[in-house]
Amino acid sequence: MNGYVLLADVVAVFHCAYIAFVVGGFALIVAGAVERWQWIRGFWFRVAHFAAIVFVCAEEVTGRVCPLTKLESRLRMAGGEVEYSRDFVGYWVDRLIFWDYSPRFFSLVYVVFGLLIAVAFVLAPPKLPRWKRRAGLHSADSGALR
């Protein structure tokens, strides 16, 4: 395996981790709101999670291709591959994250999922960092799902 293909596999694994963060993070936020886990209200976790889905929705609404998909494809081509790799890591990671559905289906799924995350952000809001609370600002503890 050459270096470009290895880098493409690293990008594919990172892409898979990004998706797991968005989807798994949402599941944990909902479960945490129901179970009253305080860690799901961590400011930086919630901001990063919200920003991750906003980025995906913005790509979709503007019709842009995911930069991770483009990077992986370019690395595979630089490594001499025309299609996605058939090595173990690349093959299974690509099969996990790339499905054969219409672009409209994915647009709808991304935007609906983004809206669900926005609703969770409001109903189970993050707590402000300590330095913000000390500055006299109030924490957003009054969410409906406490």
4-31: pLDDT as tens digits: 989 998 998 999 999 999 999 999 999 9
Q: What is the pLDDT of residue 4?
A: 93
Domain assignment of residue 89, given as a range: 3-134
Number of domains in the chain: 1
Quickly state the pLDDT bin for 135 (edges 50, 70, 90).
Answer: low
Spatial neighbors of 84 by CB under 8 A, at least 6 apart, are 76, 90, 91, 94, 98
- CA 121 to chain CA centroid, Å, is 15
Instruction: Report if residue 140 sits inside a domain.
Output: no
Instruction: Report if residue 114 sits inside a domain.
Output: yes
Instruction: Report if residue 13 sits inside a domain.
Output: yes
Average pLDDT of the segment spanning 38-44: 95
Q: How far apart are CA 53 and CA 114, in angstroms?
A: 6
Q: How far apart are CA 11 and CA 88, in angstroms?
A: 14
What six digits make up the tokens of 143? Answer: 């969410």
Instruction: Report if residue 145 sits inside a domain.
Output: no
Instruction: Report if residue 144 sits inside a domain.
Output: no
Instruction: Report if residue 139 sits inside a domain.
Output: no
